[in-house]
Amino acid sequence: MIKRISIIIAVLALLWGGYFYLEHKPEFDYKQAQSAFTSGGDEKAFKLAGSAYRSDITNNNYRKLFLDTIIRLDGSYEAQEALIEFVNDGIYDIYQTRAIEYFHELEERFAQKYQPNYIKLVPYNDKIIRWGKNPIKVCIKKRDDLALYFINEVESALMEWQRATGNKLVFVFDDKNPDITIEFEDLTINENAKDNQNLYIVANTEPVFDGSTLQSMKITLYTKNNQGKYFSAEEIYNTALHETAHALGIFGHSRNPEDVLYLSSPNVTKKDYKKLSQSDINTMKLLYDIKPDITAGKPSYSIHPKMIFGEPEEINKTKVSEAENYIRQAPSLPNGYIDLAQTAIFAKDYDKARDCLKRAIKLASDNNTKFIIYYDFAVICYETGDMNKALYYTQEAQKYRSKNSVTALLANIYYKKHDYKKAIEQYEILVSEYPQSIMYSVNLTKLYINQRKLIRAAKVLTKLIAVNPEAGEDKRVKKLKWVLIFGR
């Protein structure tokens, strides 16, 4: 009996001790943080002060010390994250005012380090996309019917970017599993385009990504202008220099005519070899110091995106301004209207997006542009729940180009329409083309599970893990691993 009472007393004491510790832990952390801060243990002070602050963001002592530790770390990535958290915590006091001042001080410091630049125009919609690997593998697909300068000028453009970044970006030529593929195509245009003496449609670049993983970039360089004349060596070089920047992650356009990323108006021919400006170089270097949203490999970074771009709404506002500038410079081209439509889609202003796309389709003269317009129409219909129209526009887009994003959209449309057989067919195509893609394999696995085809589901997941071992640690895959018992 005495032994039982002793055990009960011990358990109660333990529970009380635990409660006491948890109740007073913030104060313990605060005092330890104070001591570490005084003795120069900045990292320890930062961690402990952060713990105390998050337990009670209204406590002035905790707020002051945490902000002091953030400033003491002077711009480290972790400190930037904490500063953004502090600025946005909703407590409007002298400490938040001080945090905002320090935020702007860091902004100015980063800006001065990389001046001049046009980094605000870089994002792809509201995302930062760039490579996190070095070297970057490039495949240039040759054509026997083209003059040798087409290849030579593209290679020269790649090497110029490598030189300008001090080998921070290195290119190797590899036909197997390239990161960037460069192709030459003959431009398909209508009769109206042939009558336009000023129209130059030279290239386009498109990313392929799976969630937050960048899979590849494809650059398409056209061989001839709308008059049927081959582009000159200078035009190929300048265009390759421009498109390589897109393939490296700069998706916007500069407003300075001296920059390679300047949006040329349609009546400007490119007779001279262009040089990378200091703004071009600084923008690229800054981009590769910012943590990306979508990447490949293990990127290094030292700057938080919000220190440069702000919130997604701010990025979209900048992209709206860029699109409007595009339209002012080149009102006879559809590109500006397409860009403006995409900003409207982001803002869920679908009526504005439709109006922009209707203007764009009247100006579209090549198949790639028509593909983009019909695909965006399909996205609008999908987002607004009109699956029949979404299916129609997706099929229209397919007439002009075959692309994984269209196949994925088709799969989702069929799923929404409860046509699971066709949805599975589309995802089978995607998994076949992109066997390492976690997103496509996971979605196909779920569809098979939905249809109670558990053996097939297990085979999809097993194959994914075989070709992409890291997928086994992905949380999306872990949730489905139970199905693997049906593959044994």
Residues whose CB is less than 8 angstroms from the CB of residue 342 and which lie 6 or more positions away in sequence, other chains included: 125, 319, 323, 353, 376
User: Which of 441, 473, 468, 435 shows the shortest CA–CA distance to 456?
Assistant: 441
Q: Say how many C-beta atoms besides its own lie within 10 A of residue 2's C-beta.
A: 6
What is the reported pLDDT for 313? Answer: 86
In order, the DSSP letters of 169-225 are S-EEE-SSS-SEEEEEEPPPB-HHHHH-TT----EEEEEEEETTEEEEEEEEEESB-
- Continuous H helices in 199-309: 233-248, 278-287, 305-308
- Give the per-residue pLDDT at 263: 75
pLDDT tens series, the chain, 488 aa: 665 665 655 555 554 455 444 456 889 999 999 999 999 999 999 999 999 999 999 999 999 999 999 999 988 999 999 999 999 999 999 999 999 999 999 988 988 899 999 999 899 988 999 999 999 999 999 999 999 999 999 999 999 999 999 999 999 998 888 999 999 988 765 555 444 555 555 688 989 888 889 989 999 998 988 778 889 999 999 999 999 999 999 998 888 889 999 876 444 455 688 899 999 999 999 999 999 999 999 999 999 999 999 888 888 888 898 899 889 888 888 989 999 999 999 999 999 999 999 999 999 887 888 999 999 999 999 999 999 999 999 999 999 887 788 899 999 999 999 999 999 999 999 999 888 888 899 999 999 999 999 999 999 999 999 998 888 888 999 999 999 998 77
Q: Would you list the DSSP string of 315-332?
A: HHHHHHHHHHHHHHH-TT
What pTM does this model have? 0.82
